[in-house]
Structure 1
Amino acid sequence: MTSGWCRRYLVAGVLWAALPHGASADGTPRRVVSMNVCTDQMAMLVAGKGQLYSVSYLATDGSTSALAAEATSYVVNHGLAEEIFLMKPDLVIAGTYTTRTTVDLLKRLGFAVEELAPEASIAEVRANLQRMGKLLGRQQRADELVGAMDAEIARLNEIKLPELDLALYYANGFTSGSGTLVADIVGIAGLANLAGKLGISGTGHLSLEALVLARPDLIAIDSSSERGPALAKQNFAHPAFRAVAPPQRTVQLDSRYTICGGPFTLIAANILQQAALKLDTGK
């Protein structure tokens, strides 16, 4: 981004700030732009008809978005300040890790920008849904979504499983340890996260050797792990992995349900629980 471009749009921003924005008399935004795949989906679920104008291009990608089909109904943005400026939103919603240059420039131009942090637990999903409801003036809708989530969690908790260890195993041997949204999902499903038991927190590395020695009851892999050759996925073809992860002990878990938090996140918990119920542990 050139300094000339920046100066031109800063001047335009001063003029823009002097114009009446599209928010209603009670402050409810009427033209909302989201520029992060996670805020995209949360906004799609909470916003009123015609309130959400644009979502990021990642929202239309079925490998990263649980609401990819729904996202095609919105104008797509690529997180560029110049394109969002021309959309004239009265509220921009971003993630805390969204391109800082764009976020900072939009703020300098006088746009209202709200940032939501990524969720590391279902409790944080609830909190972000409630915050989205307040931002969009849609608290009742947010309450309904939270209530539906709580009802589904209660249903999942009613199903009692034997004590089973589950390993989350991704490309390059990565896993999700304690303090992650996926770990919370595993617990809601009624399973124990192997990575947490091994002292791994956050996103960490789980060696193939450690996986084989632990011999978890169930292994969850991303559904894309076996599509196409890639050096990052070579562990999945290793004989040792095949031995510890036969088909009956492996469950495909789409990352689109776990990358971001939302009611759809509980689809992942249901997938894991159903796989555990079908599992013949031999114990």
Structure 2
Amino acid sequence: MMLAAPGQLISISRISHDPNVSVMLEQALEYPINHGQGEEVFRLAPDLVLAGAFTSPYTVGLLRRLGVEVAQLPIVNTLDAIPENLREVGRLLGREAAAEAVIAQFEADLAALRVLRDHVPRAALHYANNYTSGENSLAHEILTAAGFTNIAAEAGLSGGGTLAMERLIMLMPDLVISGQSYPGASRSEEVLRHPAMEALRTRHASHALADAEWVCGTPAVLRAIARLAALHEGG
């Protein structure tokens, strides 16, 4: 949606219409969605299908056997990889100049947010089921770019995983960043409201950030960095 020329994009994933995870919801509502099914996508007669690393191998294989070009983009785990993905999508769409313009703006904005700070608070990412993100993850890079250290790294966690609540509390972070609560009820989210976590939040700063700004490697991560940087300055 950032790079395609008018009329070039004919369908997008149903996930893009989910307000909990879509970073371009208003723009996405202008496009018809698909559910990632091979037969469904084939009927659209596309010249190119952009898929992800976790797209169903059956769907990818079926489309390729039917003669449809499918390009699979890798999962982005670093801020430096975002321009690489943008550049590749620009090449696939024949929109290299548009991609370079987006990349230049992204790199300039990121450099402006990555200022050196004398004080580096310790922060904890805390989600449902005590899930967190350590080193070698996009969330970790977002956190450190905003001037925080990640306590999951102190605990030796690499990538995503769980950090026991008792361990998190013993590490005593300066800031607890919780995931957003979703509609409905889920036992996995009860840890976000556990009395021990509530006490930790009362003693230290706490904030919830929208998951949409964290989950995908696009320039939208700048919003998450900017919000965290504002918390840093305010704290």
Fold similarity call, TM over 0.5: yes
Give the percent of matched residue pairs that are identical in Structure 1 and Structure 2: 34
Select 2:148's aligned residue among 155, 174, 191: 191
Matched with 2:207 is 251
Point out 4+ residue stretches in structure 1 off by more than 2 angstroms: 158-161, 227-230
Structure 2 distance, partners of 1:62, 1:195, is 28
Matched with 2:233 is 277
Q: Report deviation, 1:125.
A: 1.1
Matched with 1:78 is 35
2:28 maps to a residue whose letter is A
CA contact (8 A) 2:181 2:189 kept: no
Segments of structure 2 that go 5 or more residues without pairing to the other structure are none
Q: Report deviation, 1:129.
A: 0.4
CA contact (8 A) 2:135 2:159 kept: yes
Q: Deviations over 1:122-156 (max 9, x none)?
A: 11111100100100011111111111111111111
- Structure 2 length as normaliser, TM-score? 0.96
Matched with 2:17 is 60
Q: Which has the larger radius of gyration?
A: 1
Q: Report deviation, 1:259.
A: 1.2
- Structure 1 length as normaliser, TM-score? 0.80
Q: Report deviation, 1:158.
A: 2.7
Matched with 2:121 is 164
Q: Deviations over 1:82-109 (max 9, x none)?
A: 1111100000110011011111000000
When the two chains are superposed, the root-mean-square deviation of aligned CA atoms in Å is: 1.4
1:213 maps to a residue whose letter is M
1:110 maps to a residue whose letter is G
Segments of structure 1 that go 5 or more residues without pairing to the other structure are 1-43
Matched with 1:155 is 112
Select 1:206's aligned residue among 155, 158, 163: 163
CA contact (8 A) 1:166 1:192 kept: yes
Structure 1 distance, partners of 2:134, 2:6, is 39
Structure 1 distance, partners of 2:155, 2:203, is 24
CA contact (8 A) 1:161 1:276 kept: no
Structure 1 distance, partners of 2:124, 2:176, is 5
Structure 1 distance, partners of 2:118, 2:231, is 11
Q: Which range moved further: 88-97 or 269-278?
A: 269-278
CA contact (8 A) 2:127 2:192 kept: no
Q: Report deviation, 1:246.
A: 2.3
- Matched residue of 2:11: which SS? strand
Higher RCO (CA 8 Å, separation ≥ 6 residues) = 2
CA contact (8 A) 2:134 2:150 kept: yes
- Matched residue of 1:113: which SS? strand
Count residues with an aligned counterpart.
235
Residues 22-101 of structure 1: matches in 2 within 5 Å?
A: 44-101=1-58
Select 2:222's aligned residue among 233, 253, 266: 266
1:252 maps to a residue whose letter is A
- Matched residue of 1:92: which SS? strand
CA contact (8 A) 1:178 1:196 kept: yes
Q: Report deviation, 1:230.
A: 2.4
CA contact (8 A) 1:161 1:277 kept: no
